[in-house]
Protein backbone atom coordinates (compact mmCIF):
# COMPACT_ATOMS: atom_id res chain seq x y z
CA UNK A 1 0.00 0.00 0.00
CA UNK A 2 1.38 3.48 -0.85
CA UNK A 3 2.84 5.09 2.27
CA UNK A 4 3.14 1.77 4.12
CA UNK A 5 6.02 1.76 6.59
CA UNK A 6 8.03 -1.31 5.64
CA UNK A 7 11.79 -1.39 6.10
CA UNK A 8 13.49 -2.54 2.89
CA UNK A 9 17.21 -2.91 3.36
CA UNK A 10 19.94 -4.49 5.44
CA UNK A 11 19.53 -4.48 9.21
CA UNK A 12 22.86 -2.85 10.22
CA UNK A 13 22.24 -1.93 13.88
CA UNK A 14 20.60 -3.71 16.80
CA UNK A 15 19.03 -0.56 18.22
CA UNK A 16 18.56 2.92 16.70
CA UNK A 17 20.73 5.68 18.13
CA UNK A 18 19.44 9.24 18.48
CA UNK A 19 21.91 12.08 18.92
CA UNK A 20 21.03 15.75 19.41
CA UNK A 21 23.31 18.68 18.64
CA UNK A 22 21.61 21.92 19.64
CA UNK A 23 23.53 25.13 19.06
CA UNK A 24 23.46 28.86 18.64
CA UNK A 25 26.22 31.43 18.29
CA UNK A 26 26.80 31.43 22.06
CA UNK A 27 26.07 27.90 23.22
CA UNK A 28 26.14 24.28 22.13
CA UNK A 29 24.70 21.08 23.61
CA UNK A 30 25.63 17.62 22.32
CA UNK A 31 23.67 14.75 23.79
CA UNK A 32 22.69 11.18 23.01
CA UNK A 33 19.12 10.47 24.12
CA UNK A 34 17.49 7.17 25.02
CA UNK A 35 13.94 7.82 23.84
CA UNK A 36 12.13 9.82 21.19
CA UNK A 37 10.51 12.07 23.83
CA UNK A 38 13.89 13.60 24.67
CA UNK A 39 13.91 15.39 21.31
CA UNK A 40 11.23 17.83 22.42
CA UNK A 41 13.41 19.23 25.21
CA UNK A 42 15.38 20.95 22.42
CA UNK A 43 12.97 21.60 19.55
CA UNK A 44 11.81 25.19 18.93
CA UNK A 45 14.28 26.91 21.21
CA UNK A 46 14.47 30.50 20.12
CA UNK A 47 17.45 31.27 17.84
CA UNK A 48 18.81 27.73 18.21
CA UNK A 49 19.45 25.15 15.49
CA UNK A 50 18.63 21.58 16.51
CA UNK A 51 20.30 18.76 14.60
CA UNK A 52 18.56 15.44 15.22
CA UNK A 53 20.64 12.54 13.91
CA UNK A 54 19.09 9.06 13.87
CA UNK A 55 21.34 6.06 13.15
CA UNK A 56 19.41 2.92 12.21
CA UNK A 57 16.30 2.91 10.01
CA UNK A 58 14.79 -0.47 10.86
CA UNK A 59 12.59 0.69 13.78
CA UNK A 60 9.26 1.20 11.98
CA UNK A 61 7.48 2.38 15.17
CA UNK A 62 10.02 5.14 15.68
CA UNK A 63 9.61 6.22 12.04
CA UNK A 64 5.85 6.30 12.54
CA UNK A 65 6.38 8.54 15.56
CA UNK A 66 8.69 10.77 13.53
CA UNK A 67 6.00 11.16 10.88
CA UNK A 68 3.33 12.08 13.40
CA UNK A 69 5.33 14.48 15.57
CA UNK A 70 6.94 16.42 12.71
CA UNK A 71 4.04 16.17 10.28
CA UNK A 72 6.13 14.44 7.60
CA UNK A 73 4.29 12.97 4.62
CA UNK A 74 4.02 9.14 4.84
CA UNK A 75 5.43 8.72 1.32
CA UNK A 76 8.62 10.44 2.50
CA UNK A 77 8.92 7.98 5.39
CA UNK A 78 8.30 5.15 2.93
CA UNK A 79 11.17 6.40 0.73
CA UNK A 80 13.50 6.71 3.75
CA UNK A 81 12.74 3.13 4.83
CA UNK A 82 13.55 1.82 1.34
CA UNK A 83 17.35 1.96 1.30
CA UNK A 84 17.49 0.96 -2.39
CA UNK A 85 15.98 4.30 -3.42
CA UNK A 86 17.76 6.54 -5.89
CA UNK A 87 18.74 10.06 -4.71
CA UNK A 88 15.69 12.33 -4.76
CA UNK A 89 14.29 15.71 -3.71
CA UNK A 90 10.92 16.55 -2.19
CA UNK A 91 9.43 19.65 -0.62
CA UNK A 92 6.25 20.76 1.10
CA UNK A 93 5.38 23.93 3.04
CA UNK A 94 7.02 22.60 6.22
CA UNK A 95 9.95 20.53 4.99
CA UNK A 96 12.58 19.98 2.34
CA UNK A 97 13.64 16.34 2.06
CA UNK A 98 16.80 15.10 0.37
CA UNK A 99 17.74 11.43 -0.03
CA UNK A 100 21.31 10.76 -1.12
CA UNK A 101 23.94 8.02 -1.01
CA UNK A 102 27.04 8.19 1.18
CA UNK A 103 29.85 6.38 -0.65
CA UNK A 104 32.95 4.82 0.85
CA UNK A 105 35.90 3.22 -0.94
CA UNK A 106 38.58 1.00 0.57
CA UNK A 107 41.67 1.34 -1.63
CA UNK A 108 43.40 -1.72 -0.14
CA UNK A 109 40.53 -4.12 -0.80
CA UNK A 110 39.12 -2.10 -3.75
CA UNK A 111 35.71 -2.33 -2.07
CA UNK A 112 33.06 0.29 -2.92
CA UNK A 113 30.12 0.58 -0.51
CA UNK A 114 27.08 2.84 -0.22
CA UNK A 115 24.74 3.89 2.56
CA UNK A 116 21.49 5.81 2.27
CA UNK A 117 21.39 9.20 3.98
CA UNK A 118 18.30 11.37 4.34
CA UNK A 119 18.00 15.04 5.36
CA UNK A 120 14.74 16.66 6.42
CA UNK A 121 15.09 20.43 6.69
CA UNK A 122 12.47 22.05 8.92
CA UNK A 123 12.04 25.36 10.73
CA UNK A 124 15.09 25.72 13.02
CA UNK A 125 15.83 21.99 12.95
CA UNK A 126 17.45 19.41 10.71
CA UNK A 127 16.68 15.68 10.90
CA UNK A 128 19.23 13.30 9.41
CA UNK A 129 18.77 9.55 9.10
CA UNK A 130 21.41 7.02 8.14
CA UNK A 131 21.61 3.24 8.16
CA UNK A 132 24.33 2.93 10.79
CA UNK A 133 26.64 4.94 13.03
CA UNK A 134 29.64 6.33 11.16
CA UNK A 135 32.20 9.10 11.35
CA UNK A 136 31.41 10.63 7.94
CA UNK A 137 30.34 13.94 9.46
CA UNK A 138 32.87 14.20 12.28
CA UNK A 139 34.64 17.19 10.63
CA UNK A 140 31.30 19.09 10.52
CA UNK A 141 30.63 18.25 14.19
CA UNK A 142 34.14 19.44 15.10
CA UNK A 143 33.47 22.78 13.40
CA UNK A 144 30.29 23.15 15.46
CA UNK A 145 32.12 22.24 18.68
CA UNK A 146 34.99 24.64 17.99
CA UNK A 147 32.67 27.41 16.75
CA UNK A 148 34.80 27.77 13.62
CA UNK A 149 33.80 29.48 10.40
CA UNK A 150 30.15 30.03 9.53
CA UNK A 151 28.64 26.95 11.17
CA UNK A 152 27.15 28.54 14.30
CA UNK A 153 26.44 31.86 12.63
CA UNK A 154 23.97 30.30 10.20
CA UNK A 155 20.80 28.25 10.34
CA UNK A 156 19.73 24.70 9.59
CA UNK A 157 20.00 25.28 5.83
CA UNK A 158 23.74 25.95 6.12
CA UNK A 159 24.12 22.82 8.27
CA UNK A 160 22.36 20.82 5.53
CA UNK A 161 24.73 22.37 2.97
CA UNK A 162 27.79 21.44 5.08
CA UNK A 163 26.65 17.80 5.31
CA UNK A 164 25.95 17.61 1.57
CA UNK A 165 29.31 19.24 0.88
CA UNK A 166 31.17 16.57 2.88
CA UNK A 167 29.28 13.80 1.00
CA UNK A 168 29.98 15.30 -2.42
CA UNK A 169 33.64 15.99 -1.56
CA UNK A 170 33.92 12.27 -0.79
CA UNK A 171 32.45 11.54 -4.24
CA UNK A 172 35.26 13.57 -5.84
CA UNK A 173 37.92 11.73 -3.80
CA UNK A 174 36.49 8.28 -4.64
CA UNK A 175 36.19 9.07 -8.36
CA UNK A 176 39.81 10.28 -8.27
CA UNK A 177 41.05 7.13 -6.47
CA UNK A 178 39.32 4.77 -8.91
CA UNK A 179 40.44 6.97 -11.82
CA UNK A 180 44.10 6.62 -10.75
CA UNK A 181 43.78 2.83 -10.79
CA UNK A 182 42.15 2.93 -14.22
CA UNK A 183 44.98 5.09 -15.62
CA UNK A 184 47.67 2.83 -14.11
CA UNK A 185 46.00 -0.19 -15.70
CA UNK A 186 46.72 1.19 -19.18
CA UNK A 187 50.46 0.45 -18.82
CA UNK A 188 49.78 -3.13 -17.76
CA UNK A 189 47.49 -3.71 -20.76
CA UNK A 190 50.35 -2.94 -23.19
CA UNK A 191 52.92 -5.05 -21.34
CA UNK A 192 50.92 -8.09 -20.35
CA UNK A 193 48.23 -10.40 -21.68
CA UNK A 194 47.33 -11.78 -18.25
CA UNK A 195 43.66 -12.69 -17.89
CA UNK A 196 43.59 -10.91 -14.51
CA UNK A 197 43.84 -7.59 -16.39
CA UNK A 198 40.52 -8.30 -18.12
CA UNK A 199 38.98 -9.10 -14.73
CA UNK A 200 40.32 -5.81 -13.32
CA UNK A 201 38.90 -3.88 -16.29
CA UNK A 202 35.47 -5.44 -15.65
CA UNK A 203 35.76 -4.63 -11.93
CA UNK A 204 36.49 -0.98 -12.67
CA UNK A 205 33.63 -0.94 -15.18
CA UNK A 206 31.24 -2.17 -12.48
CA UNK A 207 32.59 0.42 -10.01
CA UNK A 208 32.22 3.31 -12.45
CA UNK A 209 28.71 2.22 -13.43
CA UNK A 210 27.76 2.04 -9.74
CA UNK A 211 29.22 5.50 -9.14
CA UNK A 212 27.21 6.82 -12.05
CA UNK A 213 24.05 5.20 -10.68
CA UNK A 214 24.58 6.88 -7.29
CA UNK A 215 25.91 10.28 -8.41
CA UNK A 216 24.02 11.11 -11.61
CA UNK A 217 20.62 11.49 -9.86
CA UNK A 218 22.25 13.90 -7.38
CA UNK A 219 22.66 16.35 -10.26
CA UNK A 220 18.90 16.29 -10.82
CA UNK A 221 18.32 16.59 -7.07
CA UNK A 222 20.59 19.65 -6.83
CA UNK A 223 18.85 21.27 -9.82
CA UNK A 224 15.50 20.89 -8.08
CA UNK A 225 16.96 22.21 -4.83
CA UNK A 226 18.30 25.31 -6.59
CA UNK A 227 14.92 25.93 -8.20
CA UNK A 228 13.13 25.68 -4.86
CA UNK A 229 11.64 28.92 -3.53
CA UNK A 230 11.04 27.49 -0.08
CA UNK A 231 11.51 29.95 2.83
CA UNK A 232 13.50 27.18 4.53
CA UNK A 233 16.45 28.11 2.27
CA UNK A 234 17.90 31.56 2.85
CA UNK A 235 19.14 33.67 -0.05
CA UNK A 236 22.76 33.58 1.08
CA UNK A 237 22.78 29.76 1.09
CA UNK A 238 21.95 29.54 -2.61
CA UNK A 239 25.42 30.63 -3.69
CA UNK A 240 26.89 27.74 -1.70
CA UNK A 241 24.40 25.37 -3.33
CA UNK A 242 25.42 26.61 -6.79
CA UNK A 243 29.04 25.74 -5.96
CA UNK A 244 27.91 22.33 -4.74
CA UNK A 245 25.99 21.78 -7.98
CA UNK A 246 29.14 22.59 -9.98
CA UNK A 247 31.03 19.91 -8.02
CA UNK A 248 28.37 17.34 -8.89
CA UNK A 249 28.49 18.34 -12.56
CA UNK A 250 32.28 17.96 -12.47
CA UNK A 251 32.04 14.53 -10.78
CA UNK A 252 29.60 13.31 -13.44
CA UNK A 253 31.83 14.63 -16.25
CA UNK A 254 34.84 12.80 -14.80
CA UNK A 255 32.77 9.59 -14.48
CA UNK A 256 31.74 9.91 -18.15
CA UNK A 257 35.41 10.36 -19.08
CA UNK A 258 36.48 7.26 -17.17
CA UNK A 259 33.63 5.25 -18.69
CA UNK A 260 35.06 6.12 -22.12
CA UNK A 261 38.59 5.28 -20.91
CA UNK A 262 37.46 1.85 -19.64
CA UNK A 263 35.75 1.10 -22.96
CA UNK A 264 38.94 2.14 -24.81
CA UNK A 265 41.03 -0.01 -22.45
CA UNK A 266 38.84 -3.04 -23.06
CA UNK A 267 39.14 -2.52 -26.81
CA UNK A 268 42.89 -2.07 -26.41
CA UNK A 269 43.12 -5.28 -24.37
CA UNK A 270 41.18 -7.20 -27.04
CA UNK A 271 43.35 -5.69 -29.77
CA UNK A 272 46.48 -6.61 -27.84
CA UNK A 273 45.24 -10.18 -27.36
CA UNK A 274 44.30 -10.41 -31.05
CA UNK A 275 47.74 -9.07 -32.02
CA UNK A 276 49.49 -11.62 -29.81
CA UNK A 277 47.33 -14.40 -31.24
CA UNK A 278 48.12 -13.24 -34.77
CA UNK A 279 51.84 -13.21 -33.95
CA UNK A 280 51.60 -16.77 -32.66
CA UNK A 281 49.64 -17.88 -35.73
CA UNK A 282 52.21 -16.11 -37.92
CA UNK A 283 55.11 -18.03 -36.35
CA UNK A 284 53.24 -21.32 -36.66
CA UNK A 285 52.39 -20.54 -40.29
CA UNK A 286 56.03 -19.85 -41.07
CA UNK A 287 57.00 -23.16 -39.49
CA UNK A 288 54.31 -24.92 -41.51
CA UNK A 289 55.37 -23.17 -44.74
CA UNK A 290 58.98 -24.29 -44.19
CA UNK A 291 58.25 -27.87 -43.19
CA UNK A 292 55.57 -28.68 -45.79
CA UNK A 293 58.06 -28.83 -48.73
CA UNK A 294 60.61 -30.59 -46.51
CA UNK A 295 57.99 -33.17 -45.57
CA UNK A 296 57.24 -33.60 -49.28
CA UNK A 297 60.93 -34.24 -50.09
CA UNK A 298 61.30 -36.62 -47.14
CA UNK A 299 58.16 -38.43 -48.30
CA UNK A 300 59.48 -38.79 -51.87
CA UNK A 301 62.83 -40.19 -50.79
CA UNK A 302 61.19 -42.37 -48.18
CA UNK A 303 59.33 -44.44 -50.82
CA UNK A 304 60.32 -48.11 -51.04
CA UNK A 305 60.61 -48.65 -54.83
CA UNK A 306 63.18 -51.22 -55.90
CA UNK A 307 64.65 -49.01 -58.62
CA UNK A 308 65.28 -45.52 -57.24
CA UNK A 309 67.48 -43.16 -59.35
CA UNK A 310 69.51 -41.67 -56.48
CA UNK A 311 69.59 -44.79 -54.31
CA UNK A 312 73.04 -45.72 -55.49
CA UNK A 313 74.71 -42.33 -54.98
CA UNK A 314 77.57 -42.50 -52.54
CA UNK A 315 76.87 -39.03 -51.15
CA UNK A 316 73.08 -39.11 -51.69
CA UNK A 317 72.31 -38.51 -48.00
CA UNK A 318 74.57 -35.42 -47.95
CA UNK A 319 73.01 -34.11 -51.18
CA UNK A 320 69.56 -34.57 -49.65
CA UNK A 321 70.48 -32.34 -46.65
CA UNK A 322 72.05 -29.74 -48.93
CA UNK A 323 68.80 -29.67 -50.95
CA UNK A 324 66.78 -29.22 -47.74
CA UNK A 325 69.00 -26.30 -46.61
CA UNK A 326 68.61 -24.62 -50.01
CA UNK A 327 64.82 -25.02 -49.85
CA UNK A 328 64.68 -23.57 -46.31
CA UNK A 329 66.96 -20.67 -47.25
CA UNK A 330 64.87 -19.97 -50.35
CA UNK A 331 61.60 -19.92 -48.41
CA UNK A 332 63.01 -17.63 -45.68
CA UNK A 333 64.47 -15.30 -48.31
CA UNK A 334 61.09 -15.15 -50.02
CA UNK A 335 59.37 -14.29 -46.69
CA UNK A 336 62.01 -11.61 -46.00
CA UNK A 337 61.49 -10.07 -49.43
CA UNK A 338 57.73 -9.92 -48.81
CA UNK A 339 58.42 -8.41 -45.32
CA UNK A 340 56.53 -11.23 -43.63
CA UNK A 341 59.44 -11.69 -41.21
Q: What is the pLDDT of residues 296-306, one digit of tens each?
A: 888 888 888 77
Stretch (H or E) spanning 187 = helix 156-191
pLDDT for position 6:
78
Q: What is the mean pLDDT of the chain?
A: 87
Average pLDDT, integer, range 314-321: 85
Query: What DSSP string describes 106-123?
Result: ETTTTEEEEEEEEEEE-S
Q: What is the model's pTM?
A: 0.80
Q: What is the pLDDT of residues 71-85, one digit of tens each?
A: 998 899 998 998 888
With a CB cutoff of 8 Å and minimum separation 6, the contacts of 177 are 105, 107
Burial 48-68 (b: 16+ CB within 10 A, else e): bbbbbbbbbbbbeebbeebbe
* Residue pair 159/49 in contact by the 8 Å Cβ criterion: yes
Q: What is the pLDDT of residues 141-185, one digit of tens each?
A: 999 998 877 888 888 999 999 999 999 999 999 999 999 888 888
Comparing C-alpha atoms, which of 170, 256, 249, 169 is closest to residue 208?
Answer: 256
pLDDT for position 35:
78
Lowest mean pLDDT among 53-57, 191-195, 222-226, 280-284: 191-195
At 44, is the pLDDT very low, low, confident or very high (cuts 50, 70, 90)?
Answer: low
Is pLDDT at 1 greater than 70 in this prediction? no
pLDDT for position 275:
79
Neighbour-count burial of 46, counting CB atoms closer than 10 A to its CB (0-12 exposed, 13-18 middle, 19+ buried): exposed
* Domains and their CATH numbers in the chain: 17-271 (3.30.460.20), 273-337 (1.20.58.340)
Q: What is the pLDDT of residues 62-72, one digit of tens each?
A: 888 888 889 99
pLDDT for position 311:
77
Amino acid sequence: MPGAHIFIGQHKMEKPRIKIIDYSHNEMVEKEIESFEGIFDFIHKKNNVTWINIDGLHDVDMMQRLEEEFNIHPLIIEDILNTDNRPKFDEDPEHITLIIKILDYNKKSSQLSAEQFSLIIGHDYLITLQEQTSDHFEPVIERIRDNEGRMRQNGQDYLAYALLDSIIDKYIIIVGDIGEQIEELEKEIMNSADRSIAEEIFRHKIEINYLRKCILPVKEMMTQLLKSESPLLSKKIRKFLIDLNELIVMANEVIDTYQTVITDQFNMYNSNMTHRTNQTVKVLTIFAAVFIPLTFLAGVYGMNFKYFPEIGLRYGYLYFWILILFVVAGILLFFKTKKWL
